[in-house]
Each structure stands twice: as C-alpha cells, then as structure tokens.
A and B are shown apart, each in its own frame.
Chain A
Amino acid sequence: AQSVAQPEDQVNVAEGNPLTVKCTYSVSGNPYLFWYVQYPNRGLQFLLKYITGDNLVKGSYGFEAEFNKSQTSFHLKKPSALVSDSALYFCAVRDVESGAGSYQLTFGKGTKLSVIP
C-alpha cells in the first residue's frame, strides 16, 4: 500500500519570502513522486516529479522539491513567493514496484497556500 501525508492544511507566507509545502510518503518499494497545483476552477497542473538521481528537482514557475529518502519526504519549495502562487497544492506518489497498477497515483489531502502581499 502507498500513502501520502501533507501535514499542513494551510500555509501562509508573505510575498517575497521563501515557501515550503511539506509532503511525506510511504511505499513498499521505490517511489515516483509528483507535485501538482490547482488554481480555482481549474484542473490539476503538473509542477515537477522525482523519479531517480539528483535529490533536488526543479520544476515549473520557479518551484523545486527536495527528495529525502531517509525521512521519506518530498517538500516543495520556492525561494521567493508570488501572490500568484496562491493555490491548492497536491503531493502524489506511485510505487515503482506496484506492477500492473503502477500508473495509479495516491494523492495527499492538499495544502492551501496563501501568499500575502
């Protein structure tokens, strides 16, 4: 079984400050990890993914995420937050070893990010 935890329902950050949205995961094998963003009245938009290799992954719109295997974490970060980054963020995991169902994603509950001007 695979699972994702996003411990914060909401994160507030001032514009220009660095932001972090937390994610921890549990899989029986190795993980593929994804971050998605959802703006109001829109679908989920892919930001970045970790599959293997470098633990620091860079993605769209200046976002990056750090994979930490020992802490089973994949926190989303951005050095300087913009008001336009305000949205709902979802972390998702897929177990590499899950075989025929390997294309299924397990999502975290989501974190609402509010960037204050």
Chain B
Amino acid sequence: DTEVTQTPKHLVMGMTNKKSLKCEQHMGHRAMYWYKQKAKKPPELMFVYSYEKLSINESVPSRFSPECPNSSLLNLHLHALQPEDSALYLCASSPRGREYSNQPQHFGDGTRLSIL
C-alpha cells in the first residue's frame, strides 16, 4: 500500500473537458510534486510545492493548473488537453528542509490519463 493516494486511477477525457486530479498524503511532508510519465520513460517533473507555495514550474503549459489547498492535498486541474498529454501522472511527497534533503520522495500509484 502506498502512503500517497491519488484519485482517480484512470481518467478518459475529451479535449474540451475540464477535470481534476487529486493527491493526498498524511505523512506531514511539506514538499509535494507532480510528475508526468510516458510509457517506459522516467518521470518528468512538472511542479513542486514547498510549504503549500508553488516553488517550481518546469515550463508546463497553462492547460495544466496546480493547486495546493493545504499541506496534505495537491490538485492538478486539467483543461483543453491535447492527445500528447496522455500519460501517467504521478504525485510525490517528501519532507522539506535542508536536514531532510537526503530523504526519498514517496510516490503515489498515479492517474492514467487518456485524451480522446
């Protein structure tokens, strides 16, 4: 069982739809991440939240909009996606603070997103 919970597990949406991905952790981690992963490739970092503030945006298109409502929750709002956005979207969390920089990130099982 993973300690980072992502919902839904699967999502199929049209290019004009609006949907959201949800991620939740209760480990007290203050850094949370969104990654995009294509088949048989490494995860690509999209966004990093540190203490609930957006810290890193890796030049992600504006059709992806992250939100961190509180220290346990991370959302990714999706709008007007393209077929090439079909991928596995992974959420991760880790402790924040320099003394914790040797700690691993904990990953959820992801949301498999298909754009029609």
Q: Which residues of A contact B (CB under 8 A)?
A: 32, 34, 36, 41-46, 49, 51, 88, 90, 94, 96, 101-105, 107-110, 112
Contacts and interface: CB of A to CB of B under 8 A. Distances in A.
A43 B42 contact: no
Interface of B: 2, 4, 6, 31, 40-43, 45, 48, 50, 56, 90, 92, 94, 96, 98, 100-102, 104-110, 112
A36 B42 CA distance: 11
The 7 closest A-B pairs by CB, nearest first: A43-B107, A107-B42, A51-B102, A46-B104, A44-B107, A102-B101, A43-B109
A104 B48 contact: yes
A34 B92 CA distance: 15
B39 to A, nearest CB: 10
Nearest to B97: A103
Contacts of B40: 88, 110, 112
A104 B107 contact: no
B101 A45 contact: no
Given A43-B107, A103-B105, A107-B43, 6 more contacts: A32-B101, A43-B6, A44-B92, A90-B42, A103-B48, A105-B45
